[in-house]
């Protein structure tokens, strides 16, 4: 026990090595792939993102103007972002927040006359 005393005292008196998440979060790294977002006004509902997505978590319906993603199935590979012809898809630097229920993110494009 005496052998551990200096280590115990050091740990008690030094700063914590971990953060009090979720109250304290780390600054995200540059270019991190966080939450997937869409600028729906720029989207032309071509469906390329849905066709290219390896896990089929994007749904596009041109007739109803729907663009939908399941953020809990997304693997954040970035293929949809890289292949979008209008560059309306992008990643935020913050990660998708944890949730008790898995919900879809749905957007509707309103066509301008």
SS3 of residue 10 by DSSP: helix
Q: At which residue do the structure tokens 């879809």 appear?
A: 104
Closest to ligand SF4 by CB, 47 or 95 = 47
Taking CB under 6 A as the rule, does residue 104 contact ligand SF4?
no
Q: Which stretch binds ligand SF4 (CB under 6 A): 1-9, 13-21, 83-91, 96-104?
A: 83-91
Q: Is the distance from CB of 73 to CB of 55 less than 8 angstroms?
A: yes
Taking CB under 6 A as the rule, does residue 95 contact ligand SF4?
no
Whether residue 97 has a cis bond before it, omega within 30° of 0: no
Binds ligand SF4 (CB under 6 A): choice among 34, 88, 90, 107: 88
DSSP annotation of 51: H
Angstrom distance (rounded) from CA 54 to CA 49: 10
Binds ligand SF4 (CB under 6 A): choice among 8, 9, 32, 77: 77
Taking CB under 6 A as the rule, does residue 32 contact ligand SF4?
no
């Amino acid at each position: 026990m005496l052998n551990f005393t200096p280590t115990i005292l050091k740990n008690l008196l030094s700063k914590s090595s971990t953060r009090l998440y979720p109250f304290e979060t780390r600054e995200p790294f540059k270019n991190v792939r966080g939450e997937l977002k869409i600028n729906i006004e720029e989207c032309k509902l071509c469906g390329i993102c849905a066709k290219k997505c390896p896990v089929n978590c994007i749904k596009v319906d041109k007739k109803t103007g729907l663009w939908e993603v399941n953020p809990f199935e997304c693997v954040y590979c970035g293929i949809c972002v890289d292949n979008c012809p209008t560059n309306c898809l992008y990643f935020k630097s913050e990660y998708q927040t944890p949730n008790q229920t898995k919900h879809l993110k749905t957007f509707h494009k309103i066509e301008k006359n």
